[in-house]
Amino acid sequence: MKYKYKTASIKICLLIIITWAFGTEIDIYASDITRIHIIQGNDTDSPLLGQMCTIEAVVVADLQENDELRGFFMQEEDIHADADKTTSEGIFVYDNSFQVDEGDLVRLTGEVYEYEGLTELRNVTGLTVISSAEPFPTPATVELPFSSDTYLERFEGMQVTLPQKLVVSDHYYLGKFGYVTLSDGRLMSPTDIAGPGSDADKLKAINELSRIILDDGSNTVNPDPIIFPYPGLSADNTLRTGSAITGLTGLMSYGYEYYRIHATTAPLFDISANQRTDQPADIHGRIRVAGFNVMNYFNGPDFPTSRGAGTSDESDRQRAKIINAVTAMNADVIGLMEIENDGYGSDSAVRDLTDGLNEAAPSGVTYAFINPDIPQLGSDEIAVGILYKKETVTPVGSAATKSDGAFASGNRQPLAQTFREIATDEQFTVAVNHFKSKGSPCPDDPDQDDGQGYCNKTRTRAATDLTAWLASFPTGTSDPDILIIGDLNAYAMEDPVIAIENAGYTNLVKQETGSDAYSYLYNGEAGCLDHALSGASLTPQVKGVTIWHINADEPQILDYKEEDKTEGQKVSLYSDNPYRSSDHDPVLIGLDLYSESGNADLRNAISALKLLAGADEGGIYPGADVNHDGIIGFEEVIHSLQVIVRLRSPE
């Protein structure tokens, strides 16, 4: 039962009398009060651990409900704060047996305790509400990045305000525990923009100091509703990474190895910086190629499958999302990763997906899949695959795969196919890949602690074996226009990607979209695991590259799965739209194919510009010297620009 004594006026009168009598102000309650900054100290653990202490402070947040934290936060009045900036003026009281309100000046006695790194009071006795506090304690101002991993300890239990613009950088636990991670900008995977080792380590350390958790103030697992974003997460009211918030105010706490802020007012997110798009950005080109990891597309018929859908309903939900995503890409060739490796028969996953696409396709569009005429592609549970539009391209030669060397185990077998563009008779080869993951150990290829994860040498061997294999024209055609796509499980600056570049391929994503490109989100860090790399002869024919951000930015809880969701959430959190159809974003490449014999002028013009830019002479075609004077000069520049404008302008 709550006893609320409004004795503030009596206390003030007594203080006036004592001040008049003795010439100094004496707090008549101070003799047995321990100030919160004394309890907190300036270390992570309290110096008074296990002791019974009496405090008198203001309730700054009430989270006593059973589905909340079952306690409340108290903070010293401003006049009682000490001058030591490393000690906190706030503390959490773990007790929900007393009624208190925010703004109450409260006196209580409790035992000092450390719970999961949070200093708190428990076993509370003698709680008395003295008055309503005026003014309310002033929130501390906090800004990212922090100076150290323990910097926030000085604010533990206190009100804080973060005035700067912050963005959502991670929402992996939004559906499970109701919280998101905020940072002072999108955090990139270190080895996506920095070399492995010391450079990546420096960036990793900066990332760690540049984030803070925004907590929903609840200990509920699988909450319903999920309160972020206001008025609640749904399939149509998403919270994408990159969504911004400015002027966040809440209570600083600590738990489960991280500092976190419990918002005291409903945070309002600005989603305008990274909104959903109904289709990929325009990449021009007559031919569109897509690479898409479809996140364990298994079609049963027995459920649960070893990966992917656990029920037939989940399978239907997944199928609808994947089909709508692929249809919206409008690609002529689609490289798939993580499709069930169950062959190419009538019940196979690749045929099931192809049939579904044809049911959904607009009039005049027919999809088919590449069958390499083997029972299945290796022994792994998942495989790569290739789909194509029959109206725009047709297979040439034979589908090819490689099952030896680096692809004997670990790395999934690649699949290569040459296609002929029906409208022009031009040809190009697509090689689809899925290298060994970096999260699961390889017995003879351990993590080197350089940021590249497990099995880096295994992936790098796959890269070198792949390029050597493709140089032998395994599909039976000698056209040098080769495009490598797929989930390489390596970021842009890691050894496998660099090995492919060193073999003469151009990293199209990095070249065309910049160093801040991403297709995947892990631990709040964004980067490209999904790549498109073109051979030297194909690179000039690339018209555009884009990554369609339908998955990495979206909360995991919006996928097709039904587990850990209430009956209402199975409906409210699901849509058959493309968003969160997978955990990887698709990469799309636009091509305007031409042959050296049919468009020698363009090839020579580009070669002339390469020479002027300092390219190796071995890559220059003889026709680059327009007036045959042995000099690449002004005439060649003018001629080159005229040819490029004439032949490569968008249709």
Q: At what angle do helices 456-470 and 495-502 cross, to 10 degrees?
A: 20
3 state DSSP class of 491:
coil
Beta-carbon contacts of residue 355 (< 8 Å; ≥ 6 apart) = none
Beta-carbon contacts of residue 147 (< 8 Å; ≥ 6 apart) = 209
φ, ψ of residue 453 to 5 degrees: the values are: 75, -170
Q: Outline where DSSP puts E strands in 390-498.
A: 393-401, 415-421, 427-434, 482-487
All structural domains of the chain, each given as residue ranges with its CATH number in brackets, are 8-136 (2.40.50.200), 151-274 (2.40.50), 287-591 (3.60.10.10), 600-648 (no CATH)
Structure tokens, 617: 């002479």
* One-character DSSP codes across 108-139: EEEEEEEETTEEEEEEEEEEEEEEE-SSPPPP
Structure tokens, 428: 């190009």
3 state DSSP class of 567:
helix
pLDDT beneath 70: ranges in the chain: 1-31, 596-631, 634-651
3 state DSSP class of 283:
coil
Q: Tell me the pLDDT tens digit for each residue of 257-276.
A: 999 999 888 899 999 989 99
- Measured between alpha carbons, how far is 553 from 353 in angstroms, rounded to an integer? 24
3 state DSSP class of 610:
helix
Indicate the burial class of 229 (C-beta count within 10 angstroms; 0-12, 13-18, 19 or more).
buried
Indicate the burial class of 145 (C-beta count within 10 angstroms; 0-12, 13-18, 19 or more).
middle
Stated length of the chain: 651
Q: Check residue 599 and give its pLDDT.
A: 52
Q: Check residue 10 and give its pLDDT.
A: 41
- Cα of first residue to Cα of last residue in the chain, in angstroms, is 78
Q: Which residue has the tokens 């992570």?
A: 44
Structure tokens, 460: 């790098």
φ, ψ of residue 541 to 5 degrees: the values are: -95, 0
Q: Outline where DSSP puts E strands in 378-426.
A: 382-389, 393-401, 415-421
Structure tokens, 137: 């304690």
- Measured between alpha carbons, how far is 205 from 213 in angstroms, rounded to an integer? 17
Pairing state of beta strands 90-93 and 118-132? Answer: parallel
Q: Check residue 354 and give its pLDDT.
A: 98
**Are the beta carbons of 235 and 554 closer than 8 angstroms?**
no
Q: Tell me the pLDDT tens digit for each residue of 479-534.
A: 999 999 999 999 999 999 999 999 999 999 999 999 899 999 999 999 999 999 99
Q: Check residue 627 and give its pLDDT.
A: 55
Query: For the whole model, what pTM was predicted?
Result: 0.88
